[in-house]
């Protein structure tokens, strides 16, 4: 990995400006830094510097069981933790030739799709703020709160869910959950 100091030594002085863009907060825009060379408003070069989110997860994974590693996948991305759980679970299930029951697949799909929509709401809200439109952000977060309420009822948490398991899910949908989900979807469709 090339450090910023090494890059600075290699870029000869031209009057261009060198800017650090990042690191960005891991739960919003990404986890990368760019050393950007600009001439006025023209970006001439961008050198990525990755690794701002390294948490030794690979090393931790060497010390725990497949099931014991699942909570760590929640922390890869707090905004789409359920989707990270899904990717890990599917990889381990493929390695171990585990078949997931249909009902568990449906529960997983509901949970991960809710989490994906929630993630997109955060992305759209922050993107709007980044370009100067502040108003959409609280509306996006308001709708996200409805989704967080549904996810909290499903798994007992609002951000790090630990709902998926290798071979299925921790538990079935709570009684009356489908009705609450339909009520939310009817509401959400109208505001889209």
Predicted confidence (pLDDT) at residue 41 exceeds the cutoff of 80? yes
CA distances from 40 to 12, 47, 83, 130, 144 (A): 17, 18, 40, 21, 39
Q: What pLDDT score was predicted for residue 192? A: 84
| Mean of pLDDT values over 109-132 | 92
Judge if 42 and 67 occupy the same domain: no
Are residues 126 and 164 located together in one domain of the fold? yes
Q: Are residues 87 and 117 in the same domain?
A: yes
**Judgement on whether residues 115 and 71 belong to the same structural domain of the protein:** yes
State pLDDT tens for residues 60-94: 999 999 999 999 998 888 889 999 999 999 999 99
Domain count within the chain: 2
> Who has greater pLDDT, 102 or 56?
102
Give percent of the chain above pLDDT 70.
85
pLDDT digits (tens, 9 = 90+) for 165-189: 999 999 999 999 999 999 999 999 9
Whether residue 100 sits in one domain with residue 174: yes
Q: Which domain holds residue 36?
A: 4-50
Give the model's confidence band at 109: pLDDT under 50 very low, under 70 low, under 90 confident, else very high: very high
Mean pLDDT for 136-151 is: 96
Looking at the fold, whether 32 and 12 belong to one and the same domain comes out as yes
Note whether 15 and 69 are same-domain residues: no
Buried b (16+ CB within 10 A) or exposed e, 159-192: bbbbbbbbbbbeeebeeeeeebbeebeeeeeeee
- Do both 17 and 76 map to the same domain? no
| Mean pLDDT in residue range 3-8 | 62
Within this chain, do residues 122 and 144 fall inside the same structural domain, yes or no? yes
**Helix or strand run (H / E) with residue 17:** strand 17-21
Percent of the residues in the chain that have a pLDDT greater than 90, as a whole number: 56
Q: What is the pTM (predicted TM-score) of this model?
A: 0.75
Answer yes or no: do 108 and 75 share one domain: yes
Residue 102 and residue 38 in one domain: no
75 and 109 in contact (C-beta within 8 Å)? no
pLDDT-based confidence at residue 54 (cuts at 50, 70, 90): low
* Together in a domain, 13 and 41: yes
């Amino acid at each position: 990995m090339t450090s910023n100091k090494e890059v600075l030594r290699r870029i000869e002085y031209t009057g261009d400006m060198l800017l650090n863009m990042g690191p960005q907060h891991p739960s919003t825009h990404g986890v990368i830094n760019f050393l950007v060379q600009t001439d006025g408003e023209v970006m001439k070069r961008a050198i990525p510097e990755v690794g701002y989110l390294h948490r030794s997860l690979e090393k931790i994974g060497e010390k725990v069981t497949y099931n014991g590693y699942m909570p760590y996948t929640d922390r890869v991305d707090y905004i789409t933790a359920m989707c990270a759980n899904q990717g890990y679970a599917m990889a381990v299930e493929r390695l171990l030739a585990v078949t997931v029951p249909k009902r568990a697949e449906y529960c997983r799909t509901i949970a991960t799709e809710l989490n994906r929509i929630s993630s997109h709401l955060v992305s759209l809200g922050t993107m709007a703020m980044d370009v100067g439109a502040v108003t959409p952000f609280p509306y996006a977060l308001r709708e996200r709160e409805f989704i967080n309420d549904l996810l909290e009822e499903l798994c007992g948490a609002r951000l790090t869910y630990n709902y998926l398991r290798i071979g299925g899910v921790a538990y079935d949908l709570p009684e009356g959950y489908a009705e609450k989900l339909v009520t939310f979807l009817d509401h959400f469709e109208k505001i889209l």
